[in-house]
Structure 1
Amino acid sequence: MLHAYVRSGTGLTLLQPAEPLDAALWIDLYRPLAEQVEAVNALGYDVPTLADMEEIEISNRLYMENGTYYMTGVLPGQLPDGSPVAMPVTFILDGKRLVTVRHHAPRPFVTYPARADRSSSGCTSAERIFLGLVEEIVGRLADISEGVGRVLDATAAQVLGKTASGNSADLETALVTIGQQAELMGRVRMGLLSMDRILVYHRAGTGQDREKEDAGTRAVRSAVQRDIQALEVHADFLTSRIGMTIDATMGMIGLQQNERVRLLSVVTALFLPPTLIASIYGMNFQHIPGLQRVLGFPMALVLMVASVGGVIALLRWKKWF
Structure 2
Amino acid sequence: MLIPYRLADRRLERMLPSADLQEAIWIDLYRPQPEQASRIRAELGIEIPTLADMEEIEISNRLYREDGADFMTVILPGHSPDGKQLSGPVTFILTPDRLVTVRHHAPRPFDTFPARADRSSTGCGTHLRLFLGLVEEIVSRFADLLEAAGRSLDAIAARVYAGSSEPLTSAELEEALRAVGREGEVLARVRLGLLTMERMLSVFGLWRAEQNEHGLKTFVKTLMRDMQALEVHVDFLSGRVGLATDTTLGMVNLSQNQTVRIVSVVATLFLPPTLIGTVYGMNFHNMPELDWRYGYPLALVLMVLSGVLSWAYFKWRGWL
TM-score (norm 2): 0.96
Give, in angstroms, the shift of residue 9 of structure 1. 1.1
- 1:45-66: CA deviation from partner (whole Å, max 9, x where unpaired): 1110101001111000001123
- Tell me the equivalent position of 2:85: 84
Q: Distance in 2 between matches of 1:272 and 1:179?
A: 43
Count of matched residue pairs: 318
1:319 shift after superposition: 2.1
Q: Which amino acid aligns with 2:87?
A: A
The answer (yes or no) to whether the contact 2:12–2:115 under 8 Å persists in 1 is yes
Tell me the CA shift for residue 308 of structure 1. Answer: 1.2
Aligned partner of 1:25: which letter? I
Output the amino acid matched with 2:311.
I
Return the letter of the residue paired with 2:158.
Answer: A
Q: 1:288 to 1:9 in 2, by over 3 A?
A: same
Q: Which amino acid aligns with 2:258?
A: E
Q: Which moved more, 1:190-199 or 1:173-182?
A: 173-182
Task: Give the C-alpha shift of residue 315 in structure 1.
Answer: 1.4
Letter in 2 for 1:320: W
Aligned residue number for residue 115 of structure 2: 114
Please tell me the residue identity of whatever aligns with 2:308. G
1:125 is matched with 126
SS in 2 for 1:59: helix
Aligned to 1:15: 15
- Give the aligned residue type for 2:171: A
Distance 2:47 2:314 in 1: 79
Match of 1:316 in 2: 315
TM-score, structure 1 normalization: 0.95
Cross-structure match for 2:40:
40
Q: Is the 8 A contact 1:164 1:171 kept in 2?
A: no
State the Cα distance separating 1:18 from its structure 2 match.
7.0
**1:163 shift after superposition:** 7.2
Tell me the residue number matched to 1:174: 176
Deviations 1:31-55 (A, max 9, x none): 1122211121121211101010011
Where in structure 1 do 4 or more consecutive aligned residues deviate above 4 Å? 16-19
Q: Is the 8 A contact 2:177 2:248 kept in 1?
A: yes
CA offset at residue 153 of structure 1?
1.4
Over the matched positions of the two proteins, sequence identity in percent amounts to: 53
Does residue 195 (structure 1) correspond to residue 193 (structure 2)? The answer is no
**Distance between the aligned counterparts of 1:239 and 1:17, measured in 2?**
43
Q: Is the 8 A contact 2:73 2:91 kept in 1?
A: yes
* Structure 2: 5+ residue stretches without partners: none
CA RMSD of aligned residues (A): 1.5
Q: Which residue of 1 aligns with 2:300?
A: 301
Contact 1:95 1:127 in 2 (8 A): no
